[in-house]
Amino acid sequence: MLVRDLLYRWRALFQRKAMEDDLDAELRFHLDRLAEQHVRAGRPPDEARRLSEVALGGVPEVKEQCRESWGVSWADALIRDFWHALVRMRRYPRSAAVVGSSLALGIGMSVAMFSMVDAVLLRPLPFPDQDSIYVIQKADPLAGTHVEELAYPELIDLQESIPGFEYVAVTPTSLYGYARVLETRTADPVQLEASPVSHDFFRVLGVTPRMGREFTDSDERVGAPPVVVISDRTWREHLGADPGIIGRTVRLSGQGHTVIGVMAPGEGFPRGAALWVPLGIDQRVIERRGATFLQAVARAKPGYSRQQIDSDVSALFRRLASEYPEAYSSSQLAIVTPLVNYWTGSARIHLWIVLGASLLLLTAAAISSGGLLLSRAVSRRSEIATHLALGAPPRRIFTQMAAEGAVAGGIAAIAGLGIAYLVIRSLVRWPPAEIPRLSEASLDLNSFCFAAGAAAFVAVVCSLAPGWGASGMRLESAIREGDPRSSVSLRASRARDLFVLAQSAVTFVLVATAVLLVLSYRSVAFVETGFANRDALTMDVTLRGPGLFPAQGFDASTRHAFYSRLLQRLREEPGVTSVGAILLRPLAGPIGWDISYEFEFEAGSWDGGARPKANYEVVTTDYFKTVGSPLLQGRDFDSRDSEEAEPVAIISETLADQVRSAGHTPLGHRVRLGIRWSAGWMRVVGVSGDARYRSGTHSGAHIFVPMLQAAQATRHVVIRGPRPRQELSTLVQRVVKEIDPRQNAGDPLTIGELIDRDTARHRFNVILLLWFGACAVILAVTAVYSVIAETMAARRTEVAIKSALGAPRSRVVRDLVVRTVRFAVLGLAAGTAAVTAFGTLRLDVFRGTSARDPIVLASVAAILFVVSLAAAIWPAWHATRDNRRILLREG
């Protein structure tokens, strides 16, 4: 029956014409029969027809009652209301445009931001039961390091002493330097990021290859035949999606590897890995506790909580520190991070902030649109009051307003989805910063639901207040327009005051947040990084040979010969000003070589305690000159610093200060490195300016040793010259190939780009927030302006009389604006309270400033106050100019 009922109503709604025709014919038949009766009774046909219509009870009335029986009268009313709403929009095209575009902007921005947050943060990773996967690292606060790495033996420790883990695996902390050169017969060799992993790695992640198998412990033995698991992307892009790839041999950095598996798409962990190789195939890696370059990933058994893991792993690390005091610092701590948080890192807070800001913008847009619709309701007050006086229930007025809000919300949602689509497309096309999974952002079902929710929210805000205000309008007050107190219903004016307050509060929060972010960004981005030559180009020229570690296949003299020749050749090229090489280029990431050091004056004083650590770099002659890092004292490395000569080092200013404060001269002082001080003493020959090597926010101490005296290979070329960067990078690639055709130079980035990349997320945040803040200010100005303009329109007679009676113009204006401005100020106060409360969260993104900084808050409040005041005074001043004429016209 329900189905039939619905079908009937459906027909009544959508086949209205046929229903009406039927009804017409049916009643016509009845009337004809009635009329026939009357004619038979001797009445003339005209009267017969009239009598029969009377007997039926009025054709229009009967028809209306029948329509009610169809069960769609509510829909009829709704359609009528919507139609009227559209008609009114056409009648006031300017305010419709303002409402439509501000709402569309608000919805569009928030939908775009939501889609981004959804793709990056909310959508689960491609790993089943992702919440039980953890990344385990170490930190050593006393040594001043943020991340300490693990060594392979600790994998065994974790597996054996923590039964709560189902699987544990280790992998290097960064992809840095494990790339392999894939030689295909068809194309040029390509450099692919590779991640060495211990054999349970994929079991920890809970994924299985789409083809082939994952690693087993027999793949991870010293001397095991080399095998590789490749990513879906590698398989498609470089191996022609060969379905018979499993079991084939591919050449990676000159060594044949059997392909044993192909992973499913999207399962690139660590992010960017194009292939995975077994880790524990090197005797030194397996045995040495000092070979720290790893992090652990572990899958917890069900019910094993994060707190439990935290305390168990910390206990384990403490025990290891006491068992192996020569290997571990006693102050080392466990850092256990859920994989999801690890994955998104600092992008998390940035994304939440932009989503929050876009929602505030949406709120501001809804409030200002609601205010505009309310103003329009007020301008229609005589019409509405007449309706009410004639007995229209307030509910009807309310639904009319609701229809208007819903139409505005609906149109804005459609336009907003268009805006969101464009914003998402451009964010994916030109990613503002390195944000994992950003490329997956799209307008999907979630986004549509979010847009619908936003539209509903907008519709409610836009219809509640005008409806509430309008349904309280009374005829008397509407008629007595001259009376200022009754010219607008009390409710309507109260609603308007609240709108001004809320709008001003929201605007304050947005602008203050934007200003705080700018200040914080300024303190991060314009920090003295210590690299003056932003145009210096850096390139990855890691020597790659067979074996786990890329440079393993090369002895020191081969490496040195290669690099010396490379630098020599480049130096001789025209258009190259200077060229050098370094182990890890600046700002490449938070992970680097942290190494303990000890100056001569403090030798032995660290026994048993935590030793401070410094960033360790291997550089060549001219490196400092190329990147523009000043040498404050002493000299650069040069040809004197050969393998046989006395070991030397250059230290950064921070370290030099330590030496100075101990009463020694840095130049000529000696320093040694490493846990067992095996490297021996090195003479300090230079002091370099402080520079930021890990990230713009972390200053640190640095120790540089010359390439020829270091056990580690340089991996990056830095080059500078008047030639365009493209030419420089082609040049380096060409020369590298000429010296050794199996090698490859990749990943060209200038120092400037490295600095920008380091702060890109922050900058992205700042730019968006500034935009949102600017939009909010415009909305607030429009809102205040329209309230005053509306008041002016309603009170122009009163104003004209006042002026005519000799009231000074300034006083008339003051009377008009004081109320609105007072509520704007209250809103600013509310906003200040909100931001101050928010400030207690002490978010890292506000580094270098404080959300409770009174100067910042006061300045923002003052500026917004001036802007609101101007927006209020302008229309009032403008309108009081021609009072006499107004009065005459009105008169």
Partner 1 sequence: MSGIDLPQGTLDLLILKTLNLERQHGWGISERIRQVSREVLQVRQGSLYPALHRLERRGWIRATWGVSDNNRRAKYYELTPAGRRQLEDASASWRQLSAAVQIILDTA
Q: Which residues contact 460 (CB under 8 A, 6 or more apart)?
A: 405
The two three-digit tokens of residue 262, written as one number: 């192909």
Contacting range for partner 1; rule: CB under 8 A; set: 1-9, 282-290, 340-348, 499-507: 1-9
Q: Which of 16, 30, 123, 757 binds partner 1 (CB under 8 A)?
A: 30
What is the distance, to the nearest Å, from the Cα of residue 146 to the centroid of all Cα atoms in its chain? 24
Q: How far is the CB of 446 from partner 1 (least distance, A)?
A: 38
d(CA 406, CA 84): 12
Q: Which of 39, 51, 56, 389 binds partner 1 (CB under 8 A)?
A: 56
Q: Which of 10, 45, 47, 61 binds partner 1 (CB under 8 A)?
A: 61
d(CA 174, CA 195): 8
CB closer to partner 1, 5 vs 882: 5
d(CA 249, CA 260): 9
55 binds partner 1, rule: CB under 8 A: yes
Query: If binding means CB under 8 A, how many residues of this protein chain bind partner 1?
Result: 27
CB closer to partner 1, 69 vs 642: 69
Of 100, 153, 193, 164, give the one whose Cα is nearest residue 308: 164
Contacting range for partner 1; rule: CB under 8 A; set: 65-73, 345-353, 464-472, 835-843: 65-73
Please tell me whether the peptide bond between 270 and the residue prior to it is cis, using omega within 30 degrees of 0.
Answer: yes
Q: Which of 13, 39, 51, 66 binds partner 1 (CB under 8 A)?
A: 66
595 phi, psi to nearest 5 deg:
-140, 140
Contacting range for partner 1; rule: CB under 8 A; set: 26-34, 548-556, 646-654, 820-828: 26-34
The two three-digit tokens of residue 172, written as one number: 């290097």
d(CA 91, CA 175): 63
Q: How far is the CB of 70 from partner 1 (least distance, A)?
A: 6
8 binds partner 1, rule: CB under 8 A: yes
d(CA 124, CA 707): 45
Q: Which of 14, 15, 25, 324 binds partner 1 (CB under 8 A)?
A: 25
What is the distance, to the nearest Å, from the Cα of residue 88 to the centroid of all Cα atoms in its chain? 39
Type and span of the H or E element at 95: helix 93-117
Q: How far is the CB of 502 from partner 1 (least distance, A)?
A: 46
* 3-state secondary structure string across 344-392: HCCHHHHHHHHHHHHHHHHHHHHHHHHHHHHHHHHHCHHHHHHHHHCCC
Q: Which of 10, 15, 21, 22 binds partner 1 (CB under 8 A)?
A: 22
Q: CB–CB of 828/777 below 8 Å?
A: no
Contacting range for partner 1; rule: CB under 8 A; set: 25-33, 199-207, 240-248, 848-856: 25-33
CB closer to partner 1, 65 vs 678: 65
68 binds partner 1, rule: CB under 8 A: yes
Q: Which of 33, 210, 319, 811 binds partner 1 (CB under 8 A)?
A: 33
60 binds partner 1, rule: CB under 8 A: no
283 binds partner 1, rule: CB under 8 A: no
390 binds partner 1, rule: CB under 8 A: no
Contacting range for partner 1; rule: CB under 8 A; set: 69-77, 137-145, 295-303, 660-668: 69-77
CB closer to partner 1, 58 vs 124: 58
Q: How far is the CB of 393 from partner 1 (least distance, A)?
A: 22
Type and span of the H or E element at 540: strand 537-540
Q: How far is the CB of 10 from partner 1 (least distance, A)?
A: 11
Which segments of 730-877 are extended strands (E)?
Answer: 746-750
CB closer to partner 1, 58 vs 93: 58
Q: Which of 40, 41, 46, 57 binds partner 1 (CB under 8 A)?
A: 57
5 binds partner 1, rule: CB under 8 A: yes
Q: How far is the CB of 9 from partner 1 (least distance, A)?
A: 7
767 binds partner 1, rule: CB under 8 A: no
For 157, 368, 492, 740, 871, the CA distances from 497, given in Å and listed in that order, are 66, 12, 9, 76, 15
Q: Which of 14, 29, 526, 677 binds partner 1 (CB under 8 A)?
A: 29
70 binds partner 1, rule: CB under 8 A: yes
Q: How far is the CB of 42 from partner 1 (least distance, A)?
A: 17
Instruction: Bin 680: left if φ > 0, else alpha if -120 < ψ < 50, else beta.
Output: left
CB closer to partner 1, 47 vs 882: 47
Q: CB–CB of 503/827 below 8 Å?
A: yes
Quick one: DSSP state of residue 880?
T
3-state secondary structure of 545: coil
Q: How far is the CB of 39 from partner 1 (least distance, A)?
A: 13
Angle at 680 between CA 674 and CA 686, to 5 degrees: 90
4 binds partner 1, rule: CB under 8 A: yes
62 binds partner 1, rule: CB under 8 A: yes
CB closer to partner 1, 25 vs 841: 25
678 binds partner 1, rule: CB under 8 A: no
Residues 34-53 that bind partner 1 (CB under 8 A): 34
* 3-state secondary structure string across 485-529: CCCCCHHHHHHHHHHHHHHHHHHHHHHHHHHHHHHHHHHHHCCCC
| Pairs from 48-57 (Cβ < 8 Å, separation ≥ 24) | 56/27, 56/30, 56/31
Q: How far is the CB of 35 from partner 1 (least distance, A)?
A: 11
Q: How far is the CB of 83 from partner 1 (least distance, A)?
A: 24
Give the number of C-alpha atoms closer than 13 A to the C-alpha of residue 423, restricted to the C-beta side: 23
Q: How far is the CB of 81 from partner 1 (least distance, A)?
A: 23
Instruction: Decide: residue 889, CB within 10 A, 0-12 exposed, 13-18 middle, 19+ buried.
Output: exposed
Q: How far is the CB of 7 from partner 1 (least distance, A)?
A: 9
Q: How far is the CB of 58 from partner 1 (least distance, A)?
A: 7
Pairing of strands 275-278, 194-197: parallel
d(CA 724, CA 535): 9
Q: Which of 13, 27, 86, 98 binds partner 1 (CB under 8 A)?
A: 27
Q: CB–CB of 783/470 below 8 Å?
A: no
Which x/- pattern over 188-207 shows residues binding partner 1 (rule: CB under 8 A)?
Answer: --------------------
Lookup result for tokens 């309507």 = 492
243 binds partner 1, rule: CB under 8 A: no
How many residues would you count in the chain? 891
Q: How far is the CB of 54 from partner 1 (least distance, A)?
A: 10
3-state secondary structure of 635: coil
58 binds partner 1, rule: CB under 8 A: yes
Of 568, 590, 596, 597, give the one whose Cα is nearest residue 581: 568
CB closer to partner 1, 57 vs 741: 57
26 binds partner 1, rule: CB under 8 A: yes
CB closer to partner 1, 52 vs 750: 52
Q: Which of 13, 50, 71, 452 binds partner 1 (CB under 8 A)?
A: 71
CB closer to partner 1, 1 vs 855: 1
CB closer to partner 1, 34 vs 105: 34
Q: How far is the CB of 404 from partner 1 (least distance, A)?
A: 31
Angle at 139 between CA 138 and CA 140, to 5 degrees: 130
> Using CB under 8 A as the criterion, which residues of the chain lie in contact with partner 1 when the complex forms?
1, 4-5, 8-9, 22-23, 25-27, 29-30, 32-34, 55-58, 61-62, 65-66, 68-71
